[in-house]
Structure 1
């Protein structure tokens, strides 16, 4: 790693200390290092000394020559990220399927459509971690106002911490596929779904691959009010269903009500984001 001509970290989040060591050593020997910062909000937590130290580290790193840190939230969406990174870029999952198109398993897609029985489909995709709002979705299904006009699919591994909520949702009619979802199955879910869940807890206020893929597939994302991805949706003029975790009844009404129309061709921001991402990565290396 120290001697590589070009080095880009797909994510520095899992080993900040390792990235710091490698980036500084490479700088001292005249080599460039780039990295994507997936969870920059962790530098701004109001709780604990750890966030303060992390902020100071990334504040210093952002000023070093030959070290380029990119948040996957554009600075247009969150200007304060300018303090800890050199550039904010759009999450590649907002435009990657323009290069690698969806390739669904039509057999799996038909199976899901048969299960839905003509109802609109809401898909929760990926590991059902608490911070992804899975309990809030399950709580909505447990509400007396929930009428099962929406078919809920939970596709992904189920941690023990939420297994009780998942079982309760399953009893109310949700279909749960508690395992790793293959690529063609994943594409099939985006193919048949009407609504994609991206309503996350405040501690997980960051870019969302599920949101980006929903946009590319022309589906309606569910987002929590006041989040970065709601701001992104407004910037690219893409319709979403917003929910307030303190007023789940209103969220139920929106999920069971009329859906907004989705957009047509990719917004110019998305097209520009793809070009800027490639350019920025080349310049960083």
Structure 2
């Protein structure tokens, strides 16, 4: 109890109510599994909503401080749909809950950073911290990078699941992808060409310059569709694509529009820069919808594709959901 009191005083000093933004949706139902995310950009909201449904949970959204911090500490079960946006908050909650012997489960999106070498202090320190966290009672860390592809991740995570974007569309069975004005336009303009989609903002990390070079070599046989904003430094390159008869949607593209492109695409561009070797939502959607991903040889997603291509998506979904549910159910206090 003395240790609990010391931790309580320490964390009150750090997690003051000053500036706290309360989340009215944070449940007071002590029997519920809380599904938490700290930020709402990118894929975080979709991850939260997915696991809310799968775990029949209650949402918690926002910075881990003030009253939210203490509600997370004392909740019966917690699933962090992503831990990567607030390591400090996650670690603080996990420590307190370990003392209280309450089950905590977290999804680790970027575990491979622990083994990178270009930042000689930060990444080794991160590796040591997560190696230590794996020893905490009642804590389970799940990597979205499979351990059979990167066995070193055993060191800093207890187990793994696939990136949920490799199976989330199949929860109610094989998905029926929508049609939109954008997909109908692509169908009208494709002619005899195969369609290759590039999803997201144009940048070097996602290989946009290489995409343009590929389009130049196959412009008669390939219709490239870029669906996402184009920053000023790539506007001239985008103009080159348009001049070749390609489609560039330089704007926010809705989720339905993106899914509609997978409905009619033959290929999805996933040939990212070597230093962006991690799970990919575009790859996951291509895997789910039967679109062939264009990948860099030797990349993580190529290894994943080769090893999982013969596995049915329902089997992957069932295995991953069983792991997550089991980690919460088996550890109930």
TM-score category of the 2 structures, normalised to the smaller one = 0.7 to 0.9
Paired residues for 1:232-271 under 5 Å = 232-237=304-309, 267-268=311-312, 270-271=313-314
Match of 2:78 in 1: 7
* 1:42 counterpart SS class: helix
Alpha-carbon distance, 1:107 to partner: 4.0
Deviation (angstroms), 1:32? 1.5
Which residue of structure 2 lines up, in the alignment, with residue 180 of structure 1? 252
Q: Select the residue among 127, 139, 145 that pairs with 2:201.
A: 127
1: CA distance between counterparts of 2:117 and 2:144? 21
**Which region of structure 1 is more displaced relative to structure 2, 147-156 or 220-229?**
147-156
Aligned to 2:316: 273
Distance in 2 of aligned mates of 1:224 and 1:141: 16
Number of aligned positions between the proteins: 254
TM-score (norm 2): 0.71
Greater length-normalized contact order (CA 8 Å, ≥ 6 residues apart): 1
In structure 1, distance between residues paired with 2:153 and 2:99: 26
Equivalence for 1:38: 109
Q: Which residue of 1 aligns with 2:213?
A: 139
Corresponding position of 2:17: none
* Cα separation, 1, equivalents of 2:283 and 2:218: 24
Q: Identify the residue that residue 259 of structure 1 maps to in structure 2.
A: none
* Cα distance in 1, alignment partners of residues 230 and 75 from structure 2: 39
- Report if the CA contact (8 A) 1:36-1:69 is conserved: yes
Q: Which residue of 2 aligns with 1:262?
A: none
1:114 equivalent in structure 2: 188
1:74 counterpart (133, 142, 146): 146
Q: TM-score, normalised by structure 1?
A: 0.82
- The separation in 2 between residues aligned to 1:69 and 1:224, in whole angstroms, is 29
Q: What is the match of residue 277 of structure 2?
A: 205
**Pairwise CA distance, 1:10:** 1.4
Does 2:128 match 1:85? no
Q: Check whether the contact 2:177–2:263 (CA below 8 A) recurs between aligned residues.
A: no
Instruction: Give the 3-state SS of the residue equivalent to 2:196 in structure 1.
Output: strand
Conserved? CA contact 1:67–1:284, under 8 Å: no
SS of match in other structure, 1:280: helix
Q: Structure 1 residues 37 and 237 mapped into 2: Cα distance closer, same or farther (>3 Å)?
A: same
Task: Summarize the Cα distance change of 1:167–1:57 in structure 2 as closer, same or farther, 3 Å threshold.
Answer: farther
Residues 103 and 56 (structure 1 numbering): CA distance in 2 closer, same or farther, change over 3 Å?
same
Aligned to 1:222: 294
Aligned twin of 1:167: 239
Indicate the residue corresponding to 1:53 in structure 2: 125
Q: Does the aligned pair in 2 maintain the 1:104–1:186 contact within 8 Å?
A: no
Deviation at 1:236, TM superposition (A): 2.0
Cα 1:128–1:63, aligned 2, differ >3 Å: closer, same or farther? farther
CA-CA distance at 1:161 after TM superposition:
4.7
The 8 Å contact of residues 170 and 314 in structure 2, kept in 1 or not, is answered as no
Hey, what's the Cα distance between the residues in 2 that align with 1:68 and 1:159? 40
Q: Which has the larger radius of gyration?
A: 2
1:94 lines up with 2:166 in the alignment:
yes
Q: Secondary structure at the match of 1:201?
A: coil
Segments of 5+ residues of structure 1 without an aligned counterpart are 239-266
Structure 1 residues 167, 4: closer, same or farther in 2, change over 3 A?
Answer: farther
Aligned counterparts of 2:303 and 2:227: Cα–Cα separation in 1: 27
